[in-house]
Amino acid sequence: MVEYGVMAMYDIHCHILPGIDDGPEKMEESLAMARMAVADGIRAIVATPHAARVVEKGGKDALEQRISTFNQELQTQAIELKVLMGVEHLLSMELLQEAQRGAAIGLNGSRYLLLEIDFLQYPAYTDDALFQLQLLGFVPILAHPERQANIQKRPELLAGLVARGVLSQVTGGSVLGYFGKEAQRSVEHLLRNNLVHLLASDGHTSSQNRPPVMMEAVAAVERLVGEDAAHCMAVANPSAVIAGATVTLPESRPARRRFFPRLGR
Ligand SMILES: [Fe+2]
Protein backbone atom coordinates (compact mmCIF):
# COMPACT_ATOMS: atom_id res chain seq x y z
CA MET A 1 0.00 0.00 0.00
CA VAL A 2 1.18 3.51 -0.81
CA GLU A 3 2.24 5.44 2.28
CA TYR A 4 -0.28 8.27 2.11
CA GLY A 5 0.93 9.63 5.43
CA VAL A 6 4.18 10.59 3.73
CA MET A 7 2.71 11.60 0.40
CA ALA A 8 0.24 14.30 1.32
CA MET A 9 -3.41 14.00 0.37
CA TYR A 10 -5.54 16.97 -0.67
CA ASP A 11 -9.24 17.25 0.05
CA ILE A 12 -11.10 19.36 -2.52
CA HIS A 13 -14.55 19.10 -0.91
CA CYS A 14 -15.00 19.78 2.79
CA HIS A 15 -17.36 21.90 4.90
CA ILE A 16 -14.80 22.93 7.49
CA LEU A 17 -15.50 26.64 8.02
CA PRO A 18 -17.41 27.50 11.19
CA GLY A 19 -20.85 29.09 11.22
CA ILE A 20 -21.53 29.35 7.52
CA ASP A 21 -23.49 26.29 6.38
CA ASP A 22 -24.43 22.81 7.61
CA GLY A 23 -20.81 22.16 8.61
CA PRO A 24 -19.47 22.99 12.08
CA GLU A 25 -21.16 25.75 14.09
CA LYS A 26 -18.21 26.82 16.21
CA MET A 27 -14.50 27.44 15.65
CA GLU A 28 -13.61 24.72 18.17
CA GLU A 29 -15.38 22.11 16.06
CA SER A 30 -13.65 23.37 12.90
CA LEU A 31 -10.28 23.07 14.65
CA ALA A 32 -11.13 19.53 15.78
CA MET A 33 -11.88 18.69 12.14
CA ALA A 34 -8.59 20.25 11.06
CA ARG A 35 -6.66 18.14 13.59
CA MET A 36 -8.40 14.99 12.35
CA ALA A 37 -7.58 15.82 8.74
CA VAL A 38 -3.90 16.41 9.52
CA ALA A 39 -3.66 13.17 11.52
CA ASP A 40 -5.18 11.39 8.52
CA GLY A 41 -2.46 12.67 6.15
CA ILE A 42 -4.33 15.59 4.58
CA ARG A 43 -2.19 18.68 4.03
CA ALA A 44 -4.59 21.03 2.26
CA ILE A 45 -8.36 21.37 2.21
CA VAL A 46 -10.46 23.40 -0.16
CA ALA A 47 -13.24 24.78 2.02
CA THR A 48 -16.45 24.36 0.02
CA PRO A 49 -19.46 25.84 1.82
CA HIS A 50 -22.80 25.68 0.00
CA ALA A 51 -23.08 28.58 -2.45
CA ALA A 52 -26.49 29.77 -1.20
CA ARG A 53 -25.10 30.21 2.34
CA VAL A 54 -22.01 32.01 0.98
CA VAL A 55 -24.27 34.52 -0.78
CA GLU A 56 -26.43 34.98 2.36
CA LYS A 57 -23.36 35.58 4.47
CA GLY A 58 -21.62 38.33 2.54
CA GLY A 59 -20.49 36.72 -0.71
CA LYS A 60 -16.97 36.18 -2.01
CA ASP A 61 -15.22 38.93 -0.03
CA ALA A 62 -16.67 37.72 3.27
CA LEU A 63 -15.72 34.15 2.38
CA GLU A 64 -12.14 35.22 1.69
CA GLN A 65 -12.09 36.91 5.09
CA ARG A 66 -13.43 33.80 6.84
CA ILE A 67 -10.74 31.67 5.20
CA SER A 68 -8.01 34.09 6.16
CA THR A 69 -9.25 34.17 9.77
CA PHE A 70 -9.40 30.38 9.87
CA ASN A 71 -5.87 29.99 8.47
CA GLN A 72 -4.61 32.43 11.10
CA GLU A 73 -6.29 30.35 13.81
CA LEU A 74 -4.69 27.18 12.38
CA GLN A 75 -1.30 28.87 12.61
CA THR A 76 -1.94 30.04 16.16
CA GLN A 77 -2.87 26.48 17.12
CA ALA A 78 0.18 25.07 15.26
CA ILE A 79 -2.05 22.89 13.06
CA GLU A 80 -0.20 22.20 9.82
CA LEU A 81 -3.05 22.52 7.39
CA LYS A 82 -3.66 24.99 4.59
CA VAL A 83 -7.25 25.91 3.84
CA LEU A 84 -8.08 27.26 0.40
CA MET A 85 -11.17 28.93 -0.97
CA GLY A 86 -13.93 27.13 -2.82
CA VAL A 87 -17.69 26.76 -2.97
CA GLU A 88 -20.09 23.88 -3.60
CA HIS A 89 -22.55 25.20 -6.17
CA LEU A 90 -25.95 23.77 -6.91
CA LEU A 91 -26.30 23.23 -10.64
CA SER A 92 -29.12 25.46 -11.86
CA MET A 93 -29.95 27.98 -14.52
CA GLU A 94 -29.19 30.71 -11.95
CA LEU A 95 -25.68 29.33 -11.60
CA LEU A 96 -25.25 29.68 -15.33
CA GLN A 97 -26.20 33.35 -15.08
CA GLU A 98 -23.79 33.80 -12.16
CA ALA A 99 -21.03 32.15 -14.18
CA GLN A 100 -21.80 34.40 -17.14
CA ARG A 101 -21.35 37.52 -15.03
CA GLY A 102 -18.16 36.18 -13.42
CA ALA A 103 -19.67 35.46 -10.00
CA ALA A 104 -19.12 31.69 -9.87
CA ILE A 105 -16.32 30.70 -7.49
CA GLY A 106 -13.88 28.03 -8.70
CA LEU A 107 -11.81 25.78 -6.44
CA ASN A 108 -8.81 27.80 -5.24
CA GLY A 109 -9.56 30.38 -7.91
CA SER A 110 -9.24 27.82 -10.71
CA ARG A 111 -11.57 27.05 -13.61
CA TYR A 112 -12.72 23.92 -11.71
CA LEU A 113 -16.29 24.37 -10.43
CA LEU A 114 -17.58 21.98 -7.76
CA LEU A 115 -21.25 21.28 -8.47
CA GLU A 116 -23.95 19.18 -6.91
CA ILE A 117 -27.24 18.28 -8.45
CA ASP A 118 -30.41 17.44 -6.57
CA PHE A 119 -30.19 13.97 -5.01
CA LEU A 120 -33.56 12.87 -6.35
CA GLN A 121 -34.22 14.91 -9.48
CA TYR A 122 -32.05 14.95 -12.57
CA PRO A 123 -33.38 18.13 -14.18
CA ALA A 124 -33.80 18.15 -17.95
CA TYR A 125 -31.41 21.09 -18.24
CA THR A 126 -28.54 19.25 -16.48
CA ASP A 127 -26.49 18.22 -19.50
CA ASP A 128 -27.03 21.51 -21.31
CA ALA A 129 -26.16 23.61 -18.24
CA LEU A 130 -22.92 21.67 -17.80
CA PHE A 131 -22.09 22.17 -21.47
CA GLN A 132 -22.79 25.91 -21.22
CA LEU A 133 -20.44 26.13 -18.22
CA GLN A 134 -17.77 24.38 -20.29
CA LEU A 135 -18.28 26.91 -23.08
CA LEU A 136 -17.60 29.64 -20.53
CA GLY A 137 -14.25 27.98 -19.80
CA PHE A 138 -15.15 26.13 -16.60
CA VAL A 139 -14.45 22.48 -15.89
CA PRO A 140 -17.42 21.13 -13.94
CA ILE A 141 -16.72 18.64 -11.15
CA LEU A 142 -19.83 16.70 -10.25
CA ALA A 143 -19.89 16.10 -6.50
CA HIS A 144 -20.94 12.68 -5.15
CA PRO A 145 -22.67 11.27 -8.27
CA GLU A 146 -22.89 7.92 -6.45
CA ARG A 147 -25.48 9.45 -4.09
CA GLN A 148 -27.72 10.73 -6.90
CA ALA A 149 -30.77 8.48 -7.40
CA ASN A 150 -30.89 8.69 -11.21
CA ILE A 151 -27.16 8.03 -11.62
CA GLN A 152 -27.43 5.10 -9.21
CA LYS A 153 -30.02 3.55 -11.52
CA ARG A 154 -28.47 4.71 -14.78
CA PRO A 155 -24.70 5.12 -14.47
CA GLU A 156 -24.61 5.73 -18.23
CA LEU A 157 -25.83 9.26 -17.42
CA LEU A 158 -22.49 9.92 -15.75
CA ALA A 159 -20.59 8.06 -18.46
CA GLY A 160 -22.05 10.48 -21.02
CA LEU A 161 -20.97 13.48 -18.97
CA VAL A 162 -17.47 12.12 -18.36
CA ALA A 163 -17.09 11.47 -22.09
CA ARG A 164 -17.79 15.19 -22.60
CA GLY A 165 -15.19 16.34 -20.11
CA VAL A 166 -17.15 16.62 -16.87
CA LEU A 167 -15.14 15.40 -13.87
CA SER A 168 -16.59 13.22 -11.13
CA GLN A 169 -15.78 13.36 -7.41
CA VAL A 170 -16.94 10.56 -5.16
CA THR A 171 -17.17 10.80 -1.37
CA GLY A 172 -14.98 8.61 0.81
CA GLY A 173 -17.88 7.77 3.15
CA SER A 174 -19.81 6.25 0.24
CA VAL A 175 -17.00 3.77 -0.39
CA LEU A 176 -17.15 2.79 3.28
CA GLY A 177 -20.94 2.37 3.29
CA TYR A 178 -21.81 5.44 5.40
CA PHE A 179 -24.46 6.56 2.90
CA GLY A 180 -26.15 3.18 2.54
CA LYS A 181 -25.98 0.18 0.28
CA GLU A 182 -27.18 1.93 -2.89
CA ALA A 183 -24.48 4.59 -2.73
CA GLN A 184 -21.86 1.93 -1.94
CA ARG A 185 -22.92 -0.27 -4.84
CA SER A 186 -22.99 2.74 -7.10
CA VAL A 187 -19.54 4.02 -6.15
CA GLU A 188 -18.04 0.57 -6.65
CA HIS A 189 -19.60 0.38 -10.11
CA LEU A 190 -18.39 3.87 -11.04
CA LEU A 191 -14.88 3.11 -9.80
CA ARG A 192 -14.64 -0.17 -11.68
CA ASN A 193 -15.90 1.47 -14.87
CA ASN A 194 -13.38 4.32 -14.89
CA LEU A 195 -15.91 7.04 -14.12
CA VAL A 196 -14.18 8.64 -11.13
CA HIS A 197 -11.48 11.32 -11.20
CA LEU A 198 -11.43 12.48 -7.60
CA LEU A 199 -12.00 11.27 -4.07
CA ALA A 200 -12.88 13.77 -1.33
CA SER A 201 -14.23 13.71 2.21
CA ASP A 202 -17.26 16.05 1.94
CA GLY A 203 -16.59 16.33 5.68
CA HIS A 204 -19.15 18.14 7.83
CA THR A 205 -18.25 17.26 11.44
CA SER A 206 -15.57 15.63 13.55
CA SER A 207 -17.99 12.83 14.44
CA GLN A 208 -17.88 9.39 12.86
CA ASN A 209 -20.81 10.40 10.71
CA ARG A 210 -19.13 12.70 8.17
CA PRO A 211 -15.50 13.15 9.20
CA PRO A 212 -12.93 15.15 7.18
CA VAL A 213 -10.74 12.13 6.45
CA MET A 214 -9.81 10.07 3.40
CA MET A 215 -7.22 7.44 4.30
CA GLU A 216 -9.55 4.53 5.09
CA ALA A 217 -11.57 5.19 1.94
CA VAL A 218 -8.37 5.43 -0.13
CA ALA A 219 -7.35 2.00 1.13
CA ALA A 220 -10.77 0.62 0.12
CA VAL A 221 -10.51 2.27 -3.32
CA GLU A 222 -7.07 0.75 -3.69
CA ARG A 223 -8.48 -2.71 -3.08
CA LEU A 224 -11.19 -2.10 -5.69
CA VAL A 225 -9.28 -0.46 -8.53
CA GLY A 226 -5.60 -0.60 -7.65
CA GLU A 227 -2.91 1.54 -6.11
CA ASP A 228 -2.24 3.81 -9.09
CA ALA A 229 -5.90 4.79 -9.50
CA ALA A 230 -6.30 5.42 -5.75
CA HIS A 231 -3.21 7.60 -5.71
CA CYS A 232 -4.44 9.53 -8.74
CA MET A 233 -7.84 10.23 -7.10
CA ALA A 234 -6.54 11.22 -3.66
CA VAL A 235 -3.21 12.86 -4.41
CA ALA A 236 -2.35 13.66 -8.04
CA ASN A 237 -5.72 14.88 -9.31
CA PRO A 238 -6.70 16.93 -6.24
CA SER A 239 -3.33 18.65 -6.29
CA ALA A 240 -3.79 19.32 -10.03
CA VAL A 241 -7.20 20.88 -9.33
CA ILE A 242 -5.70 23.12 -6.66
CA ALA A 243 -2.91 24.15 -9.02
CA GLY A 244 -5.33 24.68 -11.92
CA ALA A 245 -3.47 21.97 -13.87
CA THR A 246 -4.87 19.10 -15.93
CA VAL A 247 -6.67 16.19 -14.30
CA THR A 248 -6.43 12.68 -15.70
CA LEU A 249 -8.90 9.80 -15.63
CA PRO A 250 -7.32 6.90 -13.75
CA GLU A 251 -7.85 3.41 -15.03
CA SER A 252 -9.14 0.64 -12.84
CA ARG A 253 -6.38 -1.94 -12.44
CA PRO A 254 -7.22 -4.07 -9.45
CA ALA A 255 -4.52 -6.38 -8.21
CA ARG A 256 -4.96 -9.75 -9.85
CA ARG A 257 -6.65 -12.18 -7.49
CA ARG A 258 -4.52 -15.09 -6.55
CA PHE A 259 -6.08 -18.48 -6.75
CA PHE A 260 -5.26 -20.71 -3.86
CA PRO A 261 -6.33 -24.28 -4.61
CA ARG A 262 -8.30 -25.85 -1.85
CA LEU A 263 -6.32 -28.22 0.20
CA GLY A 264 -7.81 -31.68 0.54
CA ARG A 265 -9.81 -32.29 3.65
FE1 LIG B 1 -20.67 18.99 0.21
**Block mean pLDDT (10 aa), the chain, length 265:** 63 98 97 98 98 96 98 98 98 95 96 96 94 97 98 97 97 97 98 98 92 97 96 97 96 67 43
* Distance of CA 50 from the midpoint of ligand 1 (Å): 7
Give the residue from 134, 122, 147, 126 showing the smallest Cα distance to 200: 147
What pLDDT is stored for residue 264 in this prediction? 39
* Distance of CA 263 from the midpoint of ligand 1 (Å): 49
Long-range contacts at 50-55 (CB < 8 A, ≥ 24 apart): 50/15, 50/21, 50/22, 50/87, 50/88, 50/90, 51/87, 51/88, 51/89, 51/90, 51/95, 51/105, 52/90, 53/20, 53/21, 54/20, 54/21, 54/87, 54/105
* Distance of CA 29 from the midpoint of ligand 1 (Å): 17
* Distance of CA 148 from the midpoint of ligand 1 (Å): 13
* Distance of CA 119 from the midpoint of ligand 1 (Å): 12
Residue ranges near ligand 1 (ion) with Cβ within 5 Å: 88, 202
State whether the Cα torsion 158-187-20-27 is positive or negative.
negative
- What is the secondary structure of the chain as a DSSP string? ---TTTS-EEEEEE--STTSSSS-SSHHHHHHHHHHHHHHTEEEEEE--BHHHHHHTTHHHHHHHHHHHHHHHHHHTT---EEEE--EEEPSHHHHHHHHTT----GGGSSEEEEE--SS---TTHHHHHHHHHHTT-EEEEE-GGG-HHHHH-THHHHHHHHTT-EEEEEHHHHTTTT-HHHHHHHHHHHHTT---EEE--B--SSSSS-S--HHHHHHHHHHH-HHHHHIIIIIHHHHHHHT-----PPP-PPPPP--PPPP-
**Helices 181-192 and 215-225: angle between axes, nearest 10 degrees:** 50
Beta-ladder partners of 198: 169
Provide the 10 A C-beta neighbour count for residue 161.
21
* Distance of CA 255 from the midpoint of ligand 1 (Å): 31
* Distance of CA 202 from the midpoint of ligand 1 (Å): 5
What pLDDT is stored for residue 250 in this prediction? 92
* Distance of CA 45 from the midpoint of ligand 1 (Å): 13
* Distance of CA 13 from the midpoint of ligand 1 (Å): 6
What pLDDT is stored for residue 208 in this prediction? 80
* Distance of CA 253 from the midpoint of ligand 1 (Å): 28
What pLDDT is stored for residue 199 in this prediction? 98
Residue type, 122: Y
* Distance of CA 11 from the midpoint of ligand 1 (Å): 12
What pLDDT is stored for residue 254 in this prediction? 77
* Distance of CA 242 from the midpoint of ligand 1 (Å): 17
Using left for φ > 0, alpha for ψ between -120 and 50, and beta otherwise, residue 144 falls in left
Domains of the chain: 9-243 (3.20.20.140)
* Distance of CA 100 from the midpoint of ligand 1 (Å): 23
Give the residue from 63, 115, 121, 108 showing the smallest Cα distance to 89: 115
* Distance of CA 48 from the midpoint of ligand 1 (Å): 7
Would strands 112-116 and 88-90 be described as parallel, antiparallel, or unpaired?
parallel
